[in-house]
Amino acid sequence: MKYTTFNQVNNNPLLEPMFFGNPVNVARYDQQKHHIFEKLIEKQISFFWRPEEVDVSKDRVDFQKLSDSEKHIFISNLKYQTLLDSIQGRSPNIAFLPIISIPELETWVETWSFFETIHSRSYTHILRNLFGDPSSIFDDIVENEEIKKRAADISKYYDDLIFATQLWQTLGEGTHTIKGETHVITMRELKKKLYLCMNSVNALEAIRFYVSFACTFAFAERELMEGNSKIIRLIARDENLHLTSTQHVLNLWAKGKDDPEMAEIAEECKEQATQIFLNAVEQEKEWAGFLFQHGSMIGLNKEILCQYVEFIANHRMSAIGLGQPFDIKNNPLPWMNNYLSSDNVQVAPQESEISSYLVGQIDSEVNSDDFGDFDL
């Protein structure tokens, strides 16, 4: 079905499924099929923040004090986070918007992706402070094998759905041969790809960030790199909301509260969904191994971090009906909770040093004495 930017069919959006119904026409929010997405939009907008509002200048001094193995941990984490947000800043828009059929979900996805771009901008803010010219760090993201391995696994479900959608939108259902390759496009196949993609995104938002978060907050526990930690707390708050949204989508499908065919697919592909999650867990553990290859840091090592990934995975998987596959019962990093709570995360001018605000202040503090040497 060809995509149209304004569907002229006078359809009732309250009767549309979340995906693969009519394209959205009027962007209206006075009524919603699934109220949750409207509430998530409001909440996300209320979280609005700007990286420049967080003063990271003290981190530059801290960074020089870190050991080489700690520098490796810190910088590798930032590279991985940059990769994840590069993907998330565009992919939900490109993969989901062309097939979404209700306005509140469409706007949620746009709002969500917009916040991922704030995250990406904050990495530049952090790195520019540490290095002046962060080019070599960014360049390494497309060279580093450890990072590329993850990138391939995350983007493949998106890319698969995007390509199948493009074929469907231009050629319709059927068997299509493109450059010698045969592609069978049916609505059922498209929906399966969507289901797997949503699970992969859910796993990303649910656990992929948490190894990095733990390292960031372990530095902050030692009162190091606190500007960075403040930014990551703001990012973590947003990520929690993103995760909630993908959990809602998956559960609306599985419980038959949206497209009934998606409920069948959820049942049929449960094994694959579980595997996507378990693969993400394995990859995060491997990543912990890579981070600590030159040595641990105070308060954190590979074993504890791997236990934490399992602990988080248990929680996240049970939220979407996939059970608790790992034995771990108690949180191995209880201090993480303090950093993940919304208390004290707010960036308010009076309580945090705002660099852009200070810049303005310096500019305005030019008084008449400064012009003493000028004769007009």
Partner 1 sequence: MSKNTSSFMVEIKHHKTVQHQPNKTLLESIEQHVEIQYHCREGYCGACRTKLLKGEVEYQTDPLAFIEDDEILPCCCFPISPINIEIS
Give the number of residues written for the chain: 376
The closest of 270, 258, 365 to 325, measured between CA atoms, is 270
Amino acid at 307: Q
- Alpha-carbon span 34 to 153, nearest angstrom: 31
72 scored as a contact of Fe ion (CB under 5 A): no
Residue 247 or 274 with smaller CB distance to partner 1: 247
Position among 33, 72, 79, 119 found at the interface with Fe ion (CB under 5 A): 119
Per DSSP, 19 falls in state B
Looking at 56-64, 82-90, 236-244, 279-287, which segment touches partner 1 (CB under 8 A)? 236-244
Q: How far is the CB of 84 from Fe ion (least distance, A)?
A: 7
- Alpha-carbon span 300 to 283, nearest angstrom: 18
Looking at 9-17, 188-196, 222-230, 318-326, which segment touches partner 1 (CB under 8 A)? 318-326
85 scored as a contact of Fe ion (CB under 5 A): yes
Phi, psi of 56 (to 5 degrees): -110, 10
Residue 247 or 301 with smaller CB distance to partner 1: 247
* HSE-CB of 29 using CA atoms within 13 angstroms: 13
Tell me if 189 sits within 8 A of 287, measured CB to CB. no
Position among 118, 147, 248, 355 found at the interface with partner 1 (CB under 8 A): 248
> Which of Fe ion, partner 1, none has residue 301 at its interface (CB below 5 to 8 Å by kind)?
none
> Which of Fe ion, partner 1, none has residue 116 at its interface (CB below 5 to 8 Å by kind)?
Fe ion
Q: How far is the CB of 264 from partner 1 (least distance, A)?
A: 21
Amino acid at 96: F
Tell me if 46 sits within 8 A of 115, measured CB to CB. no
Q: Is 123 a catalytic residue?
A: yes
DSSP for 342-369 reads STTT---TTTS--HHHHHHHHHHT--GG
242 scored as a contact of Fe ion (CB under 5 A): yes
34 scored as a contact of partner 1 (CB under 8 A): no
193 scored as a contact of Fe ion (CB under 5 A): no
Q: How far is the CB of 337 from partner 1 (least distance, A)?
A: 6
Cα first-last separation, the chain: 71
Residue appearing with tokens 């595997």: 275
32 scored as a contact of partner 1 (CB under 8 A): no
Looking at 139-147, 215-223, 242-250, 290-298, which segment touches partner 1 (CB under 8 A)? 242-250
| Chain Cα centroid distance, residue 281 | 16
- Residue ranges in contact with Fe ion by CB under 5 A: 85, 88, 116, 119, 205, 239, 242
- Residues at the interface with partner 1 (CB under 8 A): 36, 39-40, 43, 237, 240-241, 243-244, 247-248, 251, 315, 318-319, 324, 330-331, 337, 340-343
